């Protein structure tokens, strides 16, 4: 089955053509980062307008790169939530129009479901596994028993990990989104110079909290009596990143142990983080657990990741009606 997938939940417009839910023939991503950077964060109304412009373009590019035409498409998968409502509606309306005019089935896919199944596009991974979804809007731990079978084990009670990265970047005078910039600075920094808290690390359960780390960084910045630049900035970034990596890795491995899971998938934009990848690799060896990180292109928001679940649901006969609505909040 040839699935056309469309993603527009936040500030990336993406279209992909995927065969049989595994073979990515194309995965085009148009980022709006430059548009939102000047405002220090995503402006929902602007995001929706930019999706309107980009949607037809990325779909054309995805079809042409895959070497197929619209008539070859057997089904359409689209992110129907969660995300920015205006942004979601653009992708969803496009997907509905295409499915209706081509007379092919349509299915709505949960954005986080896309992220936590993304590594299956690169290699087979046996179920069950533990999935840590870490992005700008989400920090969730799930037990994944199969496609469509998810048990939420923990989630952030305040900021998402990526949101904390972006806010710390902003208070350090870096541009939006700052996660990758903090990562780069942290690689040159001394993580021991500043000690930041590890919220909820020793509490029972698997929930997270990142707003305390962010506030501790702000308090530290206010106390500085020299400009935040050079080695000082690198050390601050390293200390902050170390705290986030520590909490994410220790909680994930503790959950894997408690639930008897020997595989961990880490997905979402923050899964690009070099410190997180390194730490999970080290802990994997020690704990005899296999760890899977998708390639960076599949960590960030992209449409190909939707095709894993999309293809599965379409093959099972699931069909969304044309009254399928976007959901800004939608628990998985």
Instruction: Please report how close the Cβ of residue 180 comes to ligand KG4 at its closest, in angstroms.
Output: 4
Query: Which is nearer to ligand KG4, 150 or 293 (by Cβ)?
Result: 293
Q: From CA 116, how far away is CA 144, in angstroms rounded? A: 9
Q: Which residues sit opposite 139 in a β-bridge?
A: 134
Q: What angle do CA 306, 310, 314 make, to 5 degrees?
A: 170
Instruction: Please report how close the Cβ of residue 163 comes to ligand KG4 at its closest, in angstroms.
Output: 6
Query: Which is nearer to ligand KG4, 105 or 294 (by Cβ)?
Result: 294
Cα pseudo-dihedral 249, 132, 329, 94, rounded to 10: 130
Q: Which residue is nearest to ligand KG4 (CB)?
A: 269
Query: Which is nearer to ligand KG4, 22 or 184 (by Cβ)?
Result: 184
> How is residue 23 annotated by DSSP?
E
Query: Which is nearer to ligand KG4, 216 or 299 (by Cβ)?
Result: 299
Q: Given its phi and psi angles, is residue 205 left (phi above 0), alpha (psi -120 to 50 degrees) or beta?
A: left
Instruction: Please report how close the Cβ of residue 240 comes to ligand KG4 at its closest, in angstroms.
Output: 10
Q: Is 195 in a helix, a strand, or coil? A: coil
What's the token pair of residue 28?
């085009």
Instruction: Please report how close the Cβ of residue 166 comes to ligand KG4 at its closest, in angstroms.
Output: 5
Query: Which is nearer to ligand KG4, 159 or 235 (by Cβ)?
Result: 159
Residues engaged in binding ligand KG4 (CB under 6 A): 10, 135-137, 162, 165-166, 177-180, 183, 268-270, 272-273, 300-301
Whose structure tokens read 């998985």?
332
Q: From CA 156, how far away is CA 137, in angstroms rounded? A: 10
Instruction: Please report how close the Cβ of residue 138 comes to ligand KG4 at its closest, in angstroms.
Output: 7
């Amino acid at each position: 089955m040839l699935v056309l997938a469309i993603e527009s939940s936040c500030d990336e417009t993406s279209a992909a053509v995927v065969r049989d839910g595994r073979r990515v023939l194309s995965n085009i991503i148009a980022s709006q980062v430059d548009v939102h950077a000047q405002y220090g964060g995503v402006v929902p109304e602007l995001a929706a307008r930019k999706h309107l412009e980009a949607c037809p373009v990325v779909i054309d590019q995805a079809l042409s790169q895959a070497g197929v035409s619209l008539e070859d498409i057997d089904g359409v998968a689209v992110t129907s939530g969660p995300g920015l409502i205006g942004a979601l509606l653009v992708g969803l309306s496009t997907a509905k129009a295409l499915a209706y005019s081509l007379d092919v089935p349509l299915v709505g896919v949960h954005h986080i479901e896309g992220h936590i199944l993304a590594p299956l596009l690169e290699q087979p991974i046996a179920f069950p596994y533990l999935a840590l979804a870490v992005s700008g809007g989400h920090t969730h731990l799930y037990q994944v028993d199969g496609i469509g079978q998810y048990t939420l084990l923990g989630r952030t009670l305040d900021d998402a990990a990526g949101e904390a990265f972006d806010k710390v970047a902003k208070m350090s005078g870096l541009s939006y989104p700052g996660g990758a910039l903090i990562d780069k600075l942290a690689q040159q920094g001394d993580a021991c110079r500043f000690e930041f808290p590890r919220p909820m690390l020793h509490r029972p359960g698997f929930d997270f909290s990142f707003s305390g780390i962010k506030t501790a960084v702000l308090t530290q910045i206010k106390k500085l009596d020299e400009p935040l630049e050079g080695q000082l900035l690198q050390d601050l970034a390293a200390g902050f990143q170390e705290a986030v990596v520590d909490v994410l890795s220790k909680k994930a491995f503790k959950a894997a142990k408690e639930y008897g899971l020997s595989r961990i998938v880490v997905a979402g934009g923050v899964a690009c983080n070099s410190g997180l990848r390194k730490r999970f690799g080290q802990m994997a060896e020690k704990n005899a657990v296999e760890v899977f990180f998708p390639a960076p292109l599949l960590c960030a928001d992209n449409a190909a990741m939707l095709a894993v679940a999309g293809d599965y649901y379409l093959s099972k006969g699931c069909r969304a009606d044309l009254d399928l609505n976007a959901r800004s909040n939608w628990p998985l």
